[in-house]
Structure 1
Amino acid sequence: MSKRAALRVSGIVQGVGFRPFVYNLAVKLELNGWVKNTARGVFIEIEGEPEKINEFIFCLQNGGPPLARVEKIDISYLPPAGYETFEIQESSGGETSTLVSPDVGTCDDCRAELFDPSDRRYRYPFINCTNCGPRFTIVEKIPYDRKNTTMKEFTLCPECAAEYHDPSNRRFHAQPNACPVCGPKVYLKNARGELIEVKDVWQRVKEELKNGKIVAVKGLGGYHLCCDALNNEAVSALRSRKARWEKPFAVMMRNIETVRRFCELEPVECELLESPRRPIVLLKKRNDVVLPEEIAPRNRRLGVMLPYTPLHYLLMEEFQVLVMTSGNISDEPIAYRDEDALERLKGIADLFLMHDRKIYRRCDDSVALVNQGKEVLIRRSRGYAPEPIKLHLHVPHILACGAEQKNTFCLTKGDNAFISHHIGDLKNLPTLVSFEEGINHFKELFDISPEIVAYDLHPEYLSTKYAHDYPGNVTKIGVQHHHAHVASCLADNRENGPVIGVSFDGTGYGTDGCLWGGEFLLCDYENFQRVAHFAYVPMPSGSKAIEEPWRMAASYLFATYGSEMDKLDISFVRALPGVWPALKQAILQNINAPLTSSCGRLFDAVAALIGIRNTVTYEGQAAVELEQAITPGETVTYPFEIRSGSQWQIDWKPLFRSLVEDIKEGTETGRMAARFHNTVARIILETCLSIRKEYHVDKVALTGGVFQNIYLLNLAVQLLTEHGFRVLTHSRVPPNDGGLSLGQALIAYHKVLKTGKENGPCV
């Protein structure tokens, strides 16, 4: 007896070959009906024998194309309609509830065709299929059909059209489908923006790279700046022109065998490098094969990615390693529009490798590392966004605006949290424009009209000002920075509170007006209690102390020794700049010397004090190099005190007195770096033990940018676990401010749920 089932499939089921999978499955099982894309997902009506319908549904749930992600299948049964065939129907619109696939790397089938001389797409730099290629960066709106992408400008030739409409073909409804006859084309321009007429684009580009030139390369989500990584002069020129003096460059290596030549490689790292997401993976450098130090100065790790577009594969043919860094000037967003790239990068690039497929949304490379066999995201962007983070509860339409550094925003709907691609540091107009454009795009893609807007408490953040100015009748909720970090870690692990949140970072606006960053919070999503923190210390000249860590070192020493500091017989004190006496007076008179409890500033101070770095050229540099300096095997810790009161305070003065004694005794820098890290881990343990004894909470969340420090993270987890704590760390979202917006959204939801719609900070 025939039976008919109506199905609605939700998830990442558009632009990933899902409809041809459904079609071929139905034909194989001799079922009739139809399938179509809508803004609300993929709708299917299937008719035939009940056993075969059950098998069909099982295959939908447990099979499918590589990039598809079925999250839910709603099933209802109807009287038979008498369908005689199975067909793919025209897409339709409506309320949007479907998801958009991230951009994904070139699949093996397309790569084989790319280098097959007998294939009609031989050496065509835009080869793709339903299993790979651009998605998020070209889609303008839903449903994901060619007419709603930037590929609408290219009319399919007869051969491509035949593939596109053939359900048995790998390119059935592959929206970016194209070939040399009908698709995008590459071309070259010089630094003046003039078209360069050449017979072979690739030969010319390779010659320029071999001659030490810098090439701006238009990729999936924007422009890269590229040079031969084995050419010291080229790398130095790129640093100088880009004004990126010491921050490590990412590199692209030809294949996994090349990566093994230059880096240590674990199986999980290999899998991550070769995955369709194709992030930059931070790998340990090999000691026996050395790349130019200029690529990643004073860093034991190297940011490596493999080619992820056909264009990259063609570019890498004659090179082992190319520097592949974001196409921007430091602190600006990556360039992605052609005219903008020509204007902004003309002083950096000697040559522009361009193409005429428009990028609709810029998207930087993602950055990840592997720790204890688990992927940890440092920057979540290309290959990940806009795939949602699945929540363990259903929430309304919320916009969370994030913070200032490493900004992302987050929009929520149901059990989906759509965290944006990496926006950058919200310190200038171009980045603010990118932030606003991104929010508008996500709202349209996912049909979200925020009812609640969450923001950081810092009044000068551009994201906060945007939230305050957000139009309409929406509830606006201010969220404390470190509470948001802890909530982000809870959501990352699909957990609820209460939890001891250890939130360590560089800075965050505190409810007392001071700059927090070394916090122990007892909290859930709704509320937090600050139960412990590092003792306050002045930041001489405010934000300038971030750029010049010696100021923090001097401030800690002055707080520890007072007037006796000047008598300390150590090189740091002897070399203090002439401005120090004036700064000391400013501290005493409380002039431009805000108080901070920041653990990040503590790391800066120690790095400067033991001679690693007095000034920095990028955020977190001193702390990064302090971790890199560690001598393995050191077990000694420095003393510290935990002072009781209304809040426990960690007194670091004993630490600095012991550190100074080590300096006087000529202790090796690496041993002092290790001892300091051991001490911070011990502080975390002892403070959490005190909190557990008082409040009977044994779950700990480690969060904030400081926990990108793998040595500290692993040691803290080890100590806490040994003492019976359950420890939560990050994996799906970054521990730094790139994951903050997720926590803001969840806190705002619980605040409104508990107290009703009222504006104000969540404390």
Structure 2
Amino acid sequence: MNHVIAKSLAVSGIVQGVGFRPFIWQLAQEYRVRGDVANTPAGVLIHAEGAAESVAAFCRDIETRKPPLAHITGISARPESPAGAETFSIVPSEKGADTSALISPDVSVCEDCLREMCDPSDRRYRYPFINCTHCGPRYTIIDDIPYDRPGTSMRHFTMCPACQSEYDNPADRRFHAQPNACPVCGPHVTLCDNARCPVPADDPVQKTVELLRDGHIVAVKGIGGFHLAADAENSDAVRRLRERKHREEKPFALMALDLEQIRRFARPTPEEVQLLTVCQRPIVLLRKRTPNSVAEAVSPRNRCFGVMLPYTPLHYLLLGAGADQPNFTALVMTSGNMSEAPIAIDNDDAFDRLAPIADFFLIHNREICLRSDDSIVRYAGGDMRPIRRSRGYAPMPVFLRKPVPQILACGGGLKSTVCLTKGRNAFLSQHIGDMENLETFDFFRQTVDRLRRILSIRPEIVAHDLHPDYMSTQYALEQADVKTVAVQHHHAHIVSVMAEHQLDGPLIGLAFDGTGCGTDGAIWGGEVLIAEPGTFTRAAHLGYVPMPGGSAAIREPWRMGLACLYETFGDSLPDLPMLREIGEERAGVMLAMIRNQVNTPRTSSMGRLFDGIAAILGLRSQVAFEGQAAMDLEMVAGEGTRGGYEYERTPGDIVVLPVRPIVRGVVADMGKGLSPSVISMKFHNTLIRLFSELCRDLRGAAGLNRVVLSGGVFQNAILLTGLMHALEKKNFKVFANTQVPANDGGISLGQALVAAERS
């Protein structure tokens, strides 16, 4: 008979809300181990006793056979005296002052639950809230830690005897599944018109399908907020949705039942199929199939659709899961908000804000504790590139190279997120949005307060952007009894990549974006930095160009086009269609502003250079959303075009890269009658060659062999992929964002690590 031993195991990571305790119980039965398991504020605590060989095998298999949604970051074990336990049990969760358990993101409904939902003999047939320990909502229903039903929005629903029996049965897939429910005892959906009056229907979901088929717009409550849904093949419905939402041209997201339906209107690659089908279910940017039946207004003047598969049971029911034929090729599923406001999560708020947009509302009575937009990704440069990191990914931490103090990093002004650090974990919030109105600022503060509470983080340091007028900066400076650290915007971009890849410095960082306050008071955005986590030097930058009208030049790219032309040709401007469209009077006013330096801040921004070239080519003189002109320039580029334009470098302590030779080359090609597609690709080729050769020369001078790419301009797949390949051919090791967005949605991570190093 083997000697009986006992061990105490403390398991940290994402081990709550993912079926971890049931897994431990079942593993204990397999190895005849006795003891108990409990959730704690730090993770999971296990007491195991039994034969030495059995306990050893039990401990080994915890990590090798863990549930699919679990992520173990550490297991600490210590010997204990056997307590004479006769069984293995799940005991009530421990509560304590310091919370360090990781919160699971929301994940899509699993195949087992889908089969049950589509089975007419199952008691959860067509139930829109079916879930188990392996799937469903987590982050958006959590109100407190440990993750038990009383700490979630499911506390309002008392389980019926059948659900309670599943919950209590260790052999059941719903053993200790906190959102467990059924039609008898759980949440339910209701269909209303936009005056809040219930619509009579035996099956509200089927009635919603009929309304969508008839061309109506329906606000649908999901797990992270409301969507505005419309039939994607109904041009009139899509056009009305644009008009009512005040969203002129920004692409709408699509949702389709399965890959077969997606392939009717898009051409996903094998890598993109993998991104579509992960449990996070992000929106994935896919090339359009031509021709296709989707309304042109879904994604105008764009080569791509943003597409996602369903991730809730309700989505599957709307799209026709279990039926002979899908209900729709695709549905538009866009955020339930008026443009630039946070998405609605509360039923009353949704009626107040969305009634002018939606004809009908499909609501439910489960509270959403934390709003969370759909995540957006694309495949480029050999990896996933997040564009918006939110539902499905937040608040999964980025694991840092070494422990850091408890820090709150407040992000920037656009595409805002916040980051809180604890130990080696950097917790990025879900997408918050553009901090340009009080609604978004309130959401920002709520997110900070909620994350601080459920993660038990008391920041010693608050990091913020260098720009004094950002709401996030003002919030940081108002915090009492903490140290504040101002972080230069582009340094934060580069360090966000260093944090992801656990890199130390120094290295070469290329930070390309639209706007960021520089240390010299100018607007930066085309930067080459020699960077370390705590410091940087500016090695090179695009030459400064005036921004006539300041921020108005972002909304009206023709201003940047005119500024680039004046910077290149002075008063001898070439005769271009863009100038004729502007008109002599408007052009004269702008030129006077530039000459007299009135409201014309100077910028080295790569984003503004893209805007200027797009305007010169006649692609766009005004934008409906940030980055639209640059996106047009990418979309029109003729792949396969070779050649580029001349460029120059002005030597000095900081190398300057003037835009004049590039603009001169673009204008010369226009004079030759070359198409915008050829010119755009030559422009991209020029930037790729210019910066890869500059990095080569910097390596020779400083011995640096690693290059980091970050900033919103690197959402451009042509530039990202081309520059990565060019640098790799020169034997550089190249790193870019893969866990957080390259745009401003990732800078809070960089801010946190910079502040940690400076502390």
Q: Same fold (TM over 0.5)?
A: yes
Q: 1:246 aligns with which of 222, 234, 249?
A: 249
Opposite residue 188 of structure 1, the aligned amino acid is: L
- Aligned partners of 1:103 and 1:382 also within 8 Å: yes
2:339 corresponds, among 307, 330, 339, to 330
The aligned counterpart of 2:9 is 7
Number of the residue aligned with 1:647: 654
Partner SS state of residue 642, structure 1: coil
- Counterpart in the other structure of 1:547: 555
The residue number in structure 1 matching 2:167 is 164
Q: Which moved more, 1:570-579 or 1:147-156?
A: 570-579
Equivalent in the alignment of 1:485: 493
The answer to whether the 8 Å contact 2:206/2:318 transfers is no
TM-aligned CA deviation for residue 574 of structure 1: 2.3
Is this contact kept in 1: 2:18–2:104, CA < 8 A?
yes
Q: Whole-Å Cα distance in 1 between the matches of residues 273 and 59 of structure 2? A: 34
Ranges in structure 2 where 5+ consecutive residues have no aligned partner: 321-326
Secondary structure in structure 2 of the residue aligned to 1:641: coil
Query: C-alpha deviations, 1:644-681, integer Å up to 9, x for none?
Result: 12210001111111111111111011000000000111
Q: Is 2:517 the counterpart of 1:525?
A: no
What runs of 5+ residues in structure 1 fail to find an aligned partner? 753-763
**Structure 1 equivalent of residue 450 of structure 2:** 441
Q: Please show how residues 491-502 of structure 1 align to structure 2 within 5 Å.
A: 491-502=499-510
Q: Provide the residue aligned with 1:571 in structure 2.
A: 577
> Match of 2:323?
none
Matched ranges for 1:426-437 at <5 A: 426-437=435-446
Match of 2:434 in 1: 425
The residue type equivalent to 1:701 in the other structure is V
**C-alpha distance in 2, partners of 1:670/1:268?**
27
* Residue 238 of structure 2, aligned match among 235, 238, 242: 235
Identical columns (%): 49
Among candidates 135, 138, 163, match of residue 141 of structure 2: 138
Distance 1:343 1:741 in 2: 32
Aligned-partner SS, 1:8: strand
Other-structure match for 1:191: 194
Residue by residue, what CA displacement relative to the aligned partner does 1:518-559 show, whole Å, maximum 9, x if unpaired?
Answer: 000111011110110001011010111101101000001011
* Equivalent residue, structure 2, for 1:34: 36
Kindly provide the CA deviation profile for residues 198-230 of structure 1, in whole angstroms up to 9, marking residues without a partner as x.
Answer: 222123211111111100000010000000000
The residue type paired with residue 742 of structure 1 is: L
1:756 match: none
Match of 2:518 in 1: 510
Match in the other structure for 1:153: 156
Deviations 1:559-616 (A, max 9, x none): 1111111xx2222222223321111111111111110000000000001111111111
* 8 Å contact from structure 1 (residues 629, 673) kept in 2: yes
Following TM superposition, by how much is the alpha carbon of 1:631 offset from its aligned partner in structure 2, in angstroms? 0.8
- C-alpha displacement of 1:140: 0.2
Residue in 2 that maps onto 1:747: 754
Q: Secondary structure at the match of 2:633?
A: helix
Structure 2 CA distance, aligned partners of 1:275 and 1:124? Answer: 23
What is the match of residue 346 of structure 1?
A: 355
Q: Are 1:320 and 2:322 counterparts?
A: no
Structure 1 residue 196, shift from structure 2 partner: 2.4
In 1, the alpha carbon distance for the partners of 2:64 and 2:542 equals 50
Paired residue type of 2:224:
G
**Which amino acid in structure 1 is aligned with residue 38 of structure 2?**
K
Three-state SS of the structure 1 residue aligned to 2:264 is helix
- Give the distance between the partners of 1:724 and 1:27, measured in 2 at CA: 54
Match of 2:568 among 560, 577, 590: 560
SS in 2 for 1:511: coil
Match of 1:474 in 2: 482
Name which of 535, 548, 567 aligns with 2:543: 535
Query: Quick check: 1:365 aligned with 2:367?
Result: no
Deviations 1:11-39 (A, max 9, x none): 11111111110001101111111111111
CA shift, 1:689, in A, is 2.3
Matched-pair contact (CA < 8 Å) for 2:381–2:724: no
In the other structure, the counterpart of 2:733 is 726
2:230 match: secondary structure: strand
For residues 654 and 34 of structure 2, the distance between their equivalents in structure 1, rounded to whole angstroms, comes to: 69
Q: Is 2:53 aligned against 1:51?
A: yes
Q: Deviations over 1:404-434 (max 9, x none)?
A: 1000000000010000000000110010010
Letter in structure 2 aligned against 1:573: L
In structure 1, what residue type is equivalent to 2:626?
A: E
Whole-Å separation in 2 of the counterparts to 1:19 and 1:3: 21
Q: Is the 8 A contact 1:423 1:435 kept in 2?
A: yes
The answer on whether the counterparts of 1:642 and 1:687 sit within 8 Å (CA) in structure 2 is no
| Partner Cα separation in structure 2 for residue 569 and residue 156 of structure 1 | 75
Task: Judge conservation of contact 1:248–1:295 (CA < 8 Å) in 2.
Answer: yes
Q: Which amino acid aligns with 1:515?
A: I
Q: Which residue of the other structure, out of 362, 379, 393, is the alignment partner of 2:388?
A: 379
Aligned-residue offset at 1:724? 2.0
Give, in whole Å, the separation in 2 of the partners of 1:210 and 1:196: 16
CA contact (8 A) 2:529 2:539 kept: yes
Alignment map for 1:396-435 (pairs within 5 Å): 396-435=405-444
Q: What secondary structure sits across from 2:415 in the alignment?
A: coil
Q: C-alpha deviations, 1:594-641, integer Å up to 9, x for none? A: 100000000000011111111110111111111110111111110110
Greater shift in the superposed pair: 366-375 or 397-406: 366-375
Q: CA deviation at 1:686?
A: 2.3
8 Å CA contact 2:645–2:682 kept in 1: the answer is: yes
Greater shift in the superposed pair: 72-81 or 112-121: 72-81
AA aligned opposite 2:579 = V
Greater CA drift, 354-363 or 270-279: 270-279
Question: Corresponding residue for 2:742?
Answer: 735
Trace 1:110-121 onto structure 2 (pairs within 5 A): 110-121=113-124
SS of the equivalent of 1:245 reads: coil
Q: Indicate the larger mover: 202-211 or 436-445.
A: 202-211
Q: What does residue range 579-658 of structure 1 map to in structure 2 within 5 Å?
A: 579-658=586-665
| Partner AA of 1:369 in structure 2 | R
User: Which residue matches 1:65?
Assistant: 67
Deviates more, 1:487-496 or 1:137-146: 487-496
Q: 1:372 to 1:514 in 2, by over 3 A?
A: closer
Q: Distance in 1 between matches of 2:381 and 2:529?
A: 26
Q: Residues 381 and 720 of structure 2 are in contact (CA less than 8 Å); yes or no, is this contact kept in structure 1?
A: no
Q: What amino acid does structure 2 have at the position aligned with 1:239? A: R
For structure 1, which segment, 199-208 or 480-489, has the greater mean C-alpha deviation from structure 2 after superposition? 199-208
| Matched length | 749
Confirm or deny: 8 A CA contact 2:233 2:293 kept in the other structure: no
In the superposition, the TM-score normalised over structure 1's length comes to 0.97
**Alpha-carbon shift at residue 63 of structure 1 (Å):** 1.1
| Further displaced range: 21-30 or 261-270 | 261-270
Query: What letter corresponds to residue 362 of structure 1 in structure 2?
Result: R
Inter-partner Cα distance in structure 2 for 1:167 and 1:70: 22
Aligned-partner SS, 2:572:
helix
Q: Is the 8 A contact 2:544 2:604 kept in 1?
A: yes
Shift of 1:290: 4.4
1:659 aligns with 2:661: no
Cα deviation, residue 683, structure 1: 1.7
Q: CA deviation at 1:288?
A: 4.1
Distance 1:620 1:363 in 2: 23
